[in-house]
Structure 1
Amino acid sequence: MSSLLTRVKSKMSIFAHRKARGMLDGEYGSVFKGRSLDFDDLRAYIPGDEVRDIDWKASARHGSPLIRRYVAVRRQTVLLVTDTGRNMAASALGGEEKKDIAVMALGVVGYLAHRHGDVVGLVCGDGTSTRCLPAKAGEPHLERLLREVNDATALTSPRSNISEQLSYVARNFGQRMLLFVVADELVPDAGMERLLRRLRAQHEVLWLTVRDAQLAGPDSAGTNSAGPNSAGTQAPATGPADRYDVADARFLPGRLATSDAVIRAYAAAQDQRDAAREAVLRRMGIAHVNAGSSHDVMPAVFSLLERHRRGK
């Protein structure tokens, strides 16, 4: 059985040269700013520093802004939160299974945490159950987490519902952590927004959305699109292939999927879903990126960490 973590590290090595990987390490290190309750010293304000760190009394005495610095906390907790329901066994935009992209993204962030001496845990599940693997250090532990996600995600799994996993985190974790959430193209409702507000007040939250395959269009393919018929076998190709929606177990006939009217309506609906998701996450102050293939993961994670650091 091939190592999932080895695959992740190979992708990271291929992604860029040493300088770029060092920048990625630096972006990860900036997520946790070493904040603790133990005051260390003061230094001059630099554009980009957080206003909340300004010591106003000391600044008034000094005549220019001064920033409070704190003793760095050496070990942080990173909690990987992901969906292992059947939605994540469907095809992604690039043609891979969405779970392969999720494993890659979780592996990249988990490995960055490992390199920085942090401990990594996992909360995963579907709409009916949630599993938790406690935070530990070491590559064997990270491999176990990735294997759990990979092996639990299948087309026969219950339907996805990341709200269940986020609710589990809200109920069971009080210590401040970095939450790295990987999910499919959900549209947060009012209940999800309240839950995210609660989590954001307690934790640092980063979010990566795995893009769905296109159900409508001449080049759409995959499961979340094409899939097994009602008898569980692959339908023969007799013209445009039927699309299969894993989440709802519904077919979209191929002749309709290539209709101009359906393509326009599908694109408009997708734009609305994307805008709604982005609006909610932006209101919560949660940095968010998309990935449609495993090739997108490294630049997406870099962008995610950068956006979080800049508060965008």
Structure 2
Amino acid sequence: MAGLLQRVKSKMAIFAHRKARGMLDGEYGSVFRGRSLDFDDLRAYVPGDEVRDIDWKASARHGSPLIRRYVAVRRQTVLLVTDTGRNMAAEARSGEVKKDIAVLALGVMGYLAHRHGDVVGLVCGDSSGTRSLPAKGGEAHLERLLGHVDSHVRLDGAPSRIQAQLDHVIRNVKGRRLIFVVADELAADPVTAQLLRRLRAQHEVLWLTLRDADLAPAAGPGASNAAEAYSVADDSLLPGPPAMSAAVQAAYAEATAERDADRKAMFRTAGITEGDVAGSDDVITGLFALLERHRRAG
């Protein structure tokens, strides 16, 4: 059986041609630009330079635009943070198991870090506890991290509680890190909002949300034959579209939109760049958009 990292590489090859992969690499590299480099000197601005690299004070004194130059890129530590509770054994909007999408997303980010010479660690867990694997370099290490996530998500596992993993990072991870979180849809509440603000104050944070299965999809061919759905939380039967009246479906859609808006507002207030994906086919483009938005916000 092919290794998890090999599957990640194959997916990257399928969904991102060479130019797109280069753009993805460039967006990853830009996350720490100006934060991770040592200042060297100034030089004259030339067309094509990044405007954000202009030293405006020095330019004002000099009378023409000057660019800051940096040297000695320091190796960064990227910390992958994810939920391995039973919520991740549920179906995503695409019909895939959320765990499989999470492993792909974590693998893509980890592989980008590896290609840039960065080291990668992992924090994962559920409501029963949190596990931490130290940051190291190399593909073999990244394969172990992905395998750890893959093997710890089970339907009979403990409930999900990503807040416990965030609290672990806040209390135990010293020094500024690039934190990449992959998690289930998170409900907005004051306690979680406070955790996110504390996390953002200490670290650079990127967040990818895996979308829940849609219990009330738009009507279409085969909709009436949808399979029965069960909650991973308590095995209760969830009503599908055939059992829902039009009013119930409309109320469900409205509640989903309100929950999404509350979640996005919570991340925006905390200063954290968040994106979401519905399935594995969205991961490459979703990560590119996430990195690009983070760069522009920074």
**Superposition TM-score, scaled by structure 1 size:** 0.86
Gaps of 5+ in 1: 221-237
Deviates more, 1:92-101 or 1:193-202: 193-202
Q: What do the CA deviations read for 1:104-126 (whole angstroms, capped 9, x no partner)?
A: 00000000000111000000001
Q: 1:154 to 1:87 in 2, by over 3 A?
A: same
1:74, distance to aligned residue in structure 2 (A) = 3.1
Write out per-residue CA displacement over residues 257-281 of structure 1, whole angstroms, 9 at most, x where no aligned residue.
Answer: 4321221111111101110111111
Match of 1:265 in 2: 251
Residue 215 of structure 1 deviates from its aligned partner by 2.1
Please give the residue correspondences for 1:220-259 in structure 2 after superposition, counting only pairs within 5 Å: 241-254=227-240, 257-259=243-245
1:141-193 deviations in Å (ceiling 9; x for gaps)? 00000010011001111111111001100001121111000001111311111
Deviation by residue 1:18-52 (Cα, 9 ceiling, x = unmatched): 111111111110011153584311245766417xx
Deviations 1:222-243 (A, max 9, x none): xxxxxxxxxxxxxxxx976443
The answer to whether structure 1 residue 294 and structure 2 residue 297 are counterparts is no
CA distance in 2, matches of 1:303, 1:87: 25
Q: Measured at CA, do residues 163 and 239 of structure 1 come closer, stay the same or move farther in structure 2, by a change above 3 Å? A: same
Partner of 2:130: 130
Q: Cα gap change, 1:212/1:44 in structure 2, threshold over 3 Å: closer, same or farther?
A: farther
Please tell me the residue identity of whatever aligns with 1:131.
Answer: R
Q: Confirm or deny that 1:147 pairs with 2:147.
A: yes
1:79–1:177 contact (8 Å) kept in structure 2 = yes
Change (3 A) 1:257 1:13: same
Preserved CA contact (<8 Å) 1:244 1:250: yes
CA distance in 1, matches of 2:143, 2:293: 28
- Is residue 2:298 matched to residue 1:306? no
Amino acid at match of 1:152: H
Distance 1:191 1:68 in 2: 41
Q: Tell me what 2:157 maps to.
A: 157
1:2-17 to 2 correspondences below 5 Å: 2-17=2-17
Distance 1:125 1:48 in 2: 41
Determine helix, strand or coil for the equivalent of 1:158: coil
Map 1:1-312; keep pairs closer than 5 Å: 1-33=1-33, 35-36=35-36, 38-43=38-43, 48-49=51-52, 54=55, 56=57, 58-64=58-64, 66-217=66-217, 241-254=227-240, 257-311=243-297
Q: For residue 49 of structure 1, what is the amino acid of its counterpart? A: R
Instruction: Indicate if the aligned counterparts of 1:86 and 1:155 stay in contact, CA closer than 8 A.
Output: yes
Q: Contact conserved, 2:241 with 2:249, CA < 8 A, in 1?
A: no
Residues 69 and 246 (structure 1), Cα distance of their counterparts in 2 relative to 1, 3 Å cut: same
The answer to whether the Cα contact below 8 Å between 1:34 and 1:74 also exists between their aligned partners in 2 is no
| Number of equivalences | 292
> Which has the larger displacement, 89-98 or 281-290?
281-290
Secondary structure at 2:180 match in 1:
strand
Aligned partners of 2:236, 2:17: CA distance in 1, in Å? 45
Change (3 A) 1:37 1:9: closer
Corresponding residue of 1:225? none
- Bigger drift between 61-70 and 106-115 goes to 61-70
Q: Which amino acid aligns with 1:273?
A: R
**Pair 1:67–1:202, CA change in 2 (3 A):** farther
Question: For each residue in 1:33-86, what CA deviation from the matched residue of structure 2 results, as whole angstroms up to 9, or x when unmatched?
Answer: 153584311245766417xx7462x33321245454443433111000000000
Q: Is the 8 A contact 2:85 2:157 kept in 1?
A: yes
How many Å separate the matches in 1 of 2:80 and 2:226?
Answer: 39
CA contact (8 A) 2:185 2:210 kept: yes
Helix, strand or coil for the counterpart of 1:198?
A: helix
Change (3 A) 1:55 1:68: farther
Structure 2 residue matching 1:49: 3-state secondary structure? helix
Q: Aligned partners of 1:127, 1:10: CA distance in 2, in Å?
A: 33
Residue number in structure 2 paired with 1:230: none
Structure 1: distance between partners of 2:215 and 2:123: 30
Q: Which amino acid aligns with 1:251?
A: L
What's the CA shift for 1:256? 6.5
Q: Is the 8 A contact 1:243 1:257 kept in 2?
A: no
- Alignment check: 8 A CA contact 2:215 2:239 kept: no
TM-score, normalised to structure 2, is 0.90
Identity of aligned residues (%): 65
**C-alpha contact (below 8 Å) 1:34/1:73 kept by paired residues:** no
